Amino acid sequence: MSYIPPHKRHSKDPNRPSPVPDSLVTKFKNNLDFKNSSDKINRVTCSENFISKWLLVGSNGIGDKVPASVDLVPFSSDSGEGINGERPLVLMNNDINKASEQEERAQWVLIAEKVEEDLVLAYKRAKTSVEENQHVLRLVARFGKILLYKRKPGPIAEFSQKNLKKMFSTDVPTSNLHHIMSKVPSHDFSIDLEKDTYTVKISHNTRPTETINCKCTLKEDGRLSMYKAELNVVWHLVHDMSCIDRSLDLRLMLAAKRKMTALTEKEISDIKGLLDSATVDPNVKGGLRWPFGKSSSGDGYRIFEVCHVRATIYKNQTLRLRVRETDRFNERTGTGAVKREVTLILKDVNTKLQEPNIERGCVMEMLRDALGTIWDFMHCGASLR
């Protein structure tokens, strides 16, 4: 029997949910937790002109000051999002008033107006990489929670970003997931497809900052079959939004997917050799294990992360909704987590913003419609805090 390191042994969780089919308008690039590990290959790749902002969205619109009613409080989730054992903090509004339908609409219209200029600029800057390197742009909205570190709980009247680290957690609690799914029919979403896949991230010692994401399915004999290989994505824009009147926060992100186009037959053979030695095991984190000493090759390739993904994709005329459960394990840090993640893919807005002559009025209308759907998914309440 193959050796299983102690940190990878864990039992099945009977309560783990199955996948679902059945402004502080400030630059925060230096405070984003892109480097929360000494493992350099986990760093996010950003474009040269990467745009990043942190917006505070409340009932009074988008502001540059934190209201007196908002505190920093310990994050109550058990999702294991701590850094070096430090418990994360979140913003919590102690004075939430029920907004009228008109006030709700005003909020997402203001967000659309706030992000439009940066979006248009980011697409303009990304145009060269798309044309020259055949990158594929995607504009997505991710649901989750903005987690803050390095500050004691309490009032934040003198709020400062200088002593804060920030991370966006994509884990969506079950109560929020149920609310999102209850809204799916009213926005005309229907199931497009269901997927059960494995992603194996591989690094090479000559390219420490790049990763190869091997997307795999299972063959009849239980072995992995790679159907796609991609480099880690390049981020062109991130707008994180602390939605203090909502139980979820939001990340709007423009990223470029990069296909692997220059692998030699020898490189493909080395990568396939690593994948072929994997054994599917639902009792270990990430769902895959390797025989002792077989998670790296003699030619410099090594496995550093595996993830079992069960996803359901919904679509309507303008959007795609991806709901997935991820079971992830990092081989180098010895850590793993199971998360429920919800992503809205703004496919029509993405297409429109890549047209040669952009009609700004049309873009604004499409952004408002998409944000209206997003806002409907993000119900009020304190279930995340």
58 close to 93: Cβ distance less than 8 angstroms: yes
Beta bridge partners of 252: 141, 239
Contact 8, 285 (CB under 8 A): yes
pLDDT at residue 92, as a whole number: 83
State the pLDDT at residue 299.
77
pLDDT of residue 286: 94
Which tokens sit at 340? 């429920």
What was the pLDDT predicted at 85? 65
The confidence score (pLDDT) of residue 161 equals 56
Three-class DSSP category at 42: helix
Note whether 385 and 73 are within 8 A (CB): yes
Q: Which two tokens stand for residue 58?
A: 């409340």
SS3 content of the chain, % helix, strand, coil (to 5): 25, 40, 35
Q: Could you state, in order of their start, the residue ranges of all structural domains in the chain? A: 6-377
Instruction: Enumerate the β-bridge partners of residue 165.
Output: 149
Q: Cβ distance 378 to 370 under 8 Å?
A: no
Per-residue pLDDT in tens (0 to 9) along the chain, 385 residues: 444 544 444 444 444 433 433 334 333 444 444 444 334 445 578 999 999 999 888 877 777 667 777 888 888 765 556 556 678 888 888 876 666 667 777 788 889 999 999 999 999 999 888 888 889 999 999 999 999 886 556 556 555 555 678 899 999 999 999 999 999 999 999 999 999 999 999 988 888 778 899 999 999 988 999 999 899 899 999 999 999 888 899 999 999 998 877 778 888 888 898 999 999 999 999 999 988 877 877 678 889 899 999 999 999 999 999 999 999 999 878 889 999 999 999 999 999 999 988 888 999 999 999 999 999 998 765 444 4
Q: What is residue 134's predicted lDDT score, i.e. its pLDDT?
A: 82
pLDDT for res 30: 40
Read off the amino acid at residue 13: D
Q: What is the pLDDT at residue 49?
A: 92
| Residue 235 burial (10 A CB sphere; 0-12, 13-18, 19+) | buried
As beta bridge partners, residue 155 has 71
What's at 6, amino acid-wise?
P
Q: Are 118 and 239 in contact (CB under 8 A)?
A: yes
Alpha carbon separation from 132 to 75, 230, 234, 258, 356 (Å, rounded): 44, 17, 14, 12, 16
In the chain, the amino acid numbered 103 is E
Tell me the whole-structure pTM to 2 decimals.
0.84
pLDDT at site 154? 57
**Crossing angle between the packed helical segments 101-133 and 360-377, to the nearest 10 degrees:** 120
What is the structure's pLDDT at 36?
A: 40
Cα dist from 379 to 96, 171, 173, 248, whole Å: 12, 16, 12, 8
| Domain over 6-377 is classified CATH 3.30.565.10 | no
Residue found by looking up tokens 């990340």 in the block: 251
